[in-house]
Chains A and B, each alone.
Chain A
């Protein structure tokens, strides 16, 4: 009997990503939950600050990314839960899938979920805060993609750790929030520049910072993740 050829890291990543997206598509549980959570967060900002549209519009970039960050904690925490049922993670490891492929597929899946969330939040933000997209949707898409990737790279590592620890709900934000502050800051600044115009041409330097953050944490995550899930 001939064995099927083993998948490389890339092939395994795509297969696992396809599996995760299929599960997500069939249940839509995570996306529904985080979309409503993020919408509630956006609403809460306008309640907490009072109905001052100018203030909300001025800070829209920051509120947008805070809503995504809070929702990302829910999404990340759930991303390993499906594997903890019925010893699915052991099955994947025995398949055998490279641990780095598991990392890439989970982190990419989380980033895609956050991009989808951001895309859905944008029209709501336009309605609630009255923002305009000044420098174009291409820039906004780039910021959203880079920011989501930056949150999910360290977030996936921490989700894998905290999903097995006691007090996981406390642990994930406690570990993740301080670490992603540079990413949050640059994503929020870049979004504000996209929404309010970029007369001083600063957008590229913030995008560069975001790209650098991504390169560091995707690299470190890729190298270190196998040590987390080895048994």
Chain B
């Protein structure tokens, strides 16, 4: 099982992703209006889907952590890994979107509601990860960051539905009904490949996070600044 995740998952993910990209680059027809430029969709759209999925996982883990009571390091580690992987994928998705936007719209960046809400989302999760670095006590870090994750997750539906609420530059989400079947297939295959890779990233990062948490809880004195923060904290707000 362990070997399967360590070697099988990334290899399968890369293989499926390669197949999807080959289909997208060589097999699918070019777009009627955008031509070959449109082929970046097979990279950009799966990245954004997986970013949303990871952020949603972060939200679910945060809510479960608060409901389950304290001390569930597995849920806290899930939340941390999901936020980091989601931020990475979302940032890559934004860069590929900008590369797509330059030839299509004439600009790398426009203050379109989709782009703006996505940027807000990425900054929100950056803040979440920064908060995690600035709190030493693992219990407090887990609770506080879960609260921050829930407050930040209110943005996610705004990002997702922004293209429908404010019809502007960014096109509406594509669906098999609106896209040629020859484009749906490579998009689906690329998304499945990236999904496998995302799961691999999540599992790997989760294991690191869990090991860190367990080390922190087992050896609190070994933490940097641990001896300094124990006494004054008792008199502070939380």
Contacts and interface: CB of A to CB of B under 8 A. Distances in A.
Contacts of A177: 123
Contact of A83 (B144, B152, B158, B237): B237
B131 A80 contact: no
28 contacts: A86-B235, A87-B235, A89-B238, A157-B147, A160-B237, A160-B238, A161-B148, A164-B135, A164-B233, A165-B135, A165-B144, A170-B130, A171-B127, A174-B127, A174-B130, A177-B123, A178-B124, A179-B124, A179-B152, A179-B155, A181-B120, A217-B151, A220-B150, A220-B151, A227-B66, A227-B146, A228-B143, A228-B147
Centre residue among B143, B158, B225, B234 by max chain A CB count within 10 A = B143
Interface residues of B, number: 31
Nearest to A93: B237
Contact of B237 (A89, A154, A170, A227): A89
B195 to A, nearest CB: 27
Contact of A84 (B123, B128, B143, B236): B236
B102 interface: no
Given A161-B148, A175-B148, A178-B123, A228 B131 contact: no
Contact of B140 (A163, A164, A217): A164
A217 B151 CA distance: 8
B125 to A, nearest CB: 9
Contacts of B154: 216-217, 220
A166 B134 contact: yes
Interface string A133-170: 00000000000000000000010011011111111001
B131 A163 contact: no
Given A174-B126, A179-B151, A228-B143, 9 more contacts: A84-B237, A154-B151, A160-B237, A160-B238, A161-B148, A165-B135, A166-B134, A175-B128, A227-B147
Contact of A161 (B66, B144, B150): B144
Q: B-side binding surface: helix, strand, loop or mixed?
A: helix
The A interface is mostly helix, strand or loop, or mixed, namely helix
Contacts of A112: none
Contact of B147 (A83, A84, A89, A224): A224
Interface of A: 80, 83-84, 86-87, 89-90, 154, 157-158, 160-167, 170-171, 174-175, 177-179, 181-182, 216-217, 220, 224, 227-231
A91 to B, nearest CB: 11
B127 A228 contact: no
Contacts of B155: 179
Given A161-B144, A178-B124, A179-B124, A84 B235 contact: yes
Nearest to B233: A164
A161 B147 contact: yes
A105 B221 CA distance: 37
B223 to A, nearest CB: 12
Contact of A175 (B127, B136, B150): B127
Contacts of A171: 127, 130-131, 134
A178 B237 contact: no
Instruction: Kindly list the 6 A-B residue pairs having the minimum CB-CB distance in the complex, ordered from nearest.
Output: A178-B123, A175-B127, A87-B235, A174-B127, A178-B124, A165-B134
